[in-house]
């Protein structure tokens, strides 16, 4: 835990490691693994300097605007994958709601409601490895097409593994961004999931990109990975050239293998956000699931540590918070809501 007396003792100075990395990124360059690991190893008293530097990068590349997204759990439970963090896995014994795909009319209604609350993007998220039933696929395409045609909010989707044909059909229906997380670094992936390989996730990211879709791809922090493995994930995301990087923080769910895993310390989570910004200076870095529980009273600092986007409202199986509170927080920080 960070000692605030240490943080605020004397004059704050920029540590040489931070200054050097900052100059590289602000000049249009990229830091490598070694520079990123040096940032990971910074002492407590460097934390505020690191956050300030990450915020400078965010301002230089992304400005002061904050983009908001929300999601709907469009199909819940009975997933055949055994991801250790997930309440929806059929391998675990959780209290998650189980229901089939919501009708297109309900998805459209929820998208309209999200648009009214000031949200920019609306994600249709389904449980399971992929959408294999034709009637479900057609229902999703119909919802995407209506939402896109109305033009009040950008339609996104997270539907599992994709074929090239499915990606093309989503793009033609008007989908803006496809979401598919890697969840963690390749070197840690088998500790989290053994029912598929991370190469399959990478392939879906590439299929979506080839179809002309923007891609939202990130992971979950705090599952037992090392700081070096977080850097490994960030560097892979940079190599894949994804558009948006959602950072989730483990919210341990009873009945899952990670139910007793302690939460990340708030300052460690903020440090991770900052390092992702150093590695991915021009991408949307989005604070998502678990941010309220992990960051607690330091949640506003997430937007001063390099993040420029927020998921607002509820998550797939856990509670979030009202969009109005996030809008207030953004304004209180002197930032602005991204234009629609």
Q: Radius of gyration over alpha carbons of the chain, in Å?
A: 19
What's the rounded Cα separation, in Å, for the pair 105 and 146? 9
Any binding-site annotation on 286?
yes
Left if phi > 0, otherwise alpha if psi is -120 to 50, otherwise beta: which for 124?
Answer: beta
Q: Are 185 and 218 in contact (CB under 8 A)?
A: no
User: 240 exposed, middle or buried (CB, 10 Å; 0-12, 13-18, 19+)?
Assistant: middle
Any binding-site annotation on 79?
yes
27-to-30, 40, 306, 307 alpha-carbon distances in Å: 9, 22, 17, 20
DSSP code of 321?
Answer: B
Element of type H or E holding 154: strand 154-158
What's the rounded Cα separation, in Å, for the pair 247 and 61? 19
Give the ranges where the chain is alpha helix by DSSP (H): 4-7, 16-26, 33-40, 47-62, 104-116, 134-150, 164-173, 198-210, 227-240, 266-279, 291-295, 323-332
Q: Which pair of tokens denotes residue 69?
A: 């997204």
Any binding-site annotation on 216?
yes
Any binding-site annotation on 217?
no
309 - beta bridge partners? 67, 286
User: 34 exposed, middle or buried (CB, 10 Å; 0-12, 13-18, 19+)?
Assistant: exposed
Q: Are 215 and 207 in contact (CB under 8 A)?
A: no
Any binding-site annotation on 176?
no
70 - beta bridge partners? 122
* Annotated binding-site residue numbers: 79, 83, 86, 216, 286
* Annotated binding-site residue numbers for [4Fe-4S] cluster: 79, 83, 86
* Annotated binding-site residue numbers for [2Fe-2S] cluster: 216, 286
């Amino acid at each position: 835990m960070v000692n605030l007396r240490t943080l605020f003792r004397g004059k704050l100075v920029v540590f040489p490691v931070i200054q050097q990395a900052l100059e590289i990124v602000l000049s249009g360059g990229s830091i490598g693994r070694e520079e990123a690991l040096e940032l990971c190893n910074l002492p407590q008293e460097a934390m505020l300097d690191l956050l300030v530097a990450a915020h400078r990068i965010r301002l230089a590349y992304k400005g002061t605007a904050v983009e908001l997204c929300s999601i709907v759990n469009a199909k819940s439970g009975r997933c055949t994958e055994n991801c250790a963090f997930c309440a929806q896995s059929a391998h675990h014994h959780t209290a998650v709601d189980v229901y089939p795909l919501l009708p297109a009319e309900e998805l459209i209604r929820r998208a309209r409601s999200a648009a009214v609350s000031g949200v920019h993007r609306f994600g249709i998220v389904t449980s399971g490895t992929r959408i294999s039933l034709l009637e479900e696929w057609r229902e999703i395409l119909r919802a995407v097409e209506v939402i896109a045609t109305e033009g009040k909010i950008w339609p996104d989707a997270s539907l599992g593994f994709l074929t090239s044909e499915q990606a093309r059909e989503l793009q033609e229906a008007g989908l803006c961004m496809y979401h598919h997380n890697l969840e963690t670094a390749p070197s840690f992936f088998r500790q989290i999931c053994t029912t598929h390989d991370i190469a399959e996730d990478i392939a879906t990211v590439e299929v979506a990109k080839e179809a002309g879709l923007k891609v939202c791809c990130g992971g979950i922090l705090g599952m037992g990975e090392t700081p070096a493995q977080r850097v490994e994930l960030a560097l892979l995301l940079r190599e894949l050239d994804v558009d948006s990087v959602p950072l989730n923080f483990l919210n341990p769910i009873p009945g899952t293998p990670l139910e007793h895993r302690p939460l990340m310390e708030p300052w460690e989570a903020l440090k991770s956000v900052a390092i992702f910004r150093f590695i991915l200076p021009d991408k949307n870095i989005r604070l998502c699931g678990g941010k309220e529980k992990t960051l607690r009273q330091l949640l506003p600092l997430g937007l001063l540590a390099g993040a420029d986007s927020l998921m607002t409202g509820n998550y797939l199986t856990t509670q979030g918070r009202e969009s109005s509170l996030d809008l207030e927080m953004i304004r209180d920080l002197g930032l602005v809501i991204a234009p629609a």
